[in-house]
Amino acid sequence: MITAAPVRLAVVYYSSTGVNTEIAQLIAEAAEKAGAEVRLRKAAELAPQAAIDSNPAWAANHAATAGIATATPDDMIWADAVIFGSPTRFGNIASQLKQFIDTLGGLWMRGQLADKVYSGFTTSSSAHGGQESTLLALYNSVHHFGGILVAPGYTDPAKFADGNPYGTSHVDAQGHNPISDTTREAARVQAERVVHVAAALKGRLAT
């Protein structure tokens, strides 16, 4: 049950060719339907324009997401819950998202990242392409924050189809596999679970 004051959820992600953008939007939409107030935020791009322009899908996503605000530390202060998203990079998170997380040292030192709910999602080009290790690497930061990790687990029948208890994940096969209904359902389950747990925590802290 959602408390009188809605959960404030920040969806902070990085996407080069747009697959993570689509999942981030699915999560944001599902969270809003679950009663949350949502900020959709992208990590700042670090790659040079020449690299972006060399890949048509990357250039298209870069242009299409120009209107999405870039994440700032203020978004983390505002949020009761944060869902991070990143493609796999050698079994780790992308440097763009890592750069944003690395700017949060001041908030961490002041305890402003603690006691929030956190979760994550990822994509890879190939099956077994580092999805689980990417999410586990992301969650190392959550532990340092003193955050409350809320993975989807196998808490819904849809998760047995998706098969990843650590977070929503998708294999895009270099753009040949569009987002499936399985991934959409996984995103919904994760968003609803994060909102539900964050609402319960927010209600408890308010009493």
SS (H, E, C) 91-112: CEECHHHHHHHHCCHHHHHCCC
In 3D, which of 73, 75, 90, 65 has the Cα closest to residue 14?
65
Q: In this structure, what CATH number is given to the domain that contains residue 61? A: 3.40.50.360
Q: Let me know if residue 172 belongs to a domain.
A: yes
CA distance 86 to 103: 17
The answer to whether residues 164 and 131 touch, using CB atoms and an 8 Å cutoff, is yes
Q: What is the model's pLDDT at position 175?
A: 84
**Which residues face 149 on adjacent strands?**
118
Q: Contact at 8 Å (CB) between 3 and 36?
A: no
Q: From CA 181, how far away is CA 94, in angstroms rounded?
A: 25
Residue 79 domain boundaries:
8-206
CB 97 within 8 A of CB 12: yes
In a domain, 1, yes or no: no
Q: In the chain, which stretches have pLDDT less than 70?
A: 1-4, 205-207
Residue 174 resides in a domain? yes
Number of domains into which the chain is organized? 1
**Contact criterion met (CB below 8 Å) for 13 and 20:** yes
Q: Is residue 199 part of a domain?
A: yes
The pTM (predicted TM-score) of the whole model is: 0.96
Closest-CA residue to 68 (of 85, 86, 87, 44):
44
Question: In this structure, is residue 80 part of a structural domain?
Answer: yes
- For residue 56, tell me if it sits in a domain: yes
Question: Are 154 and 117 in contact, with CB atoms under 8 Å apart?
Answer: no
For residue 3, being part of any structural domain is answered with no
pLDDT at 205: 64
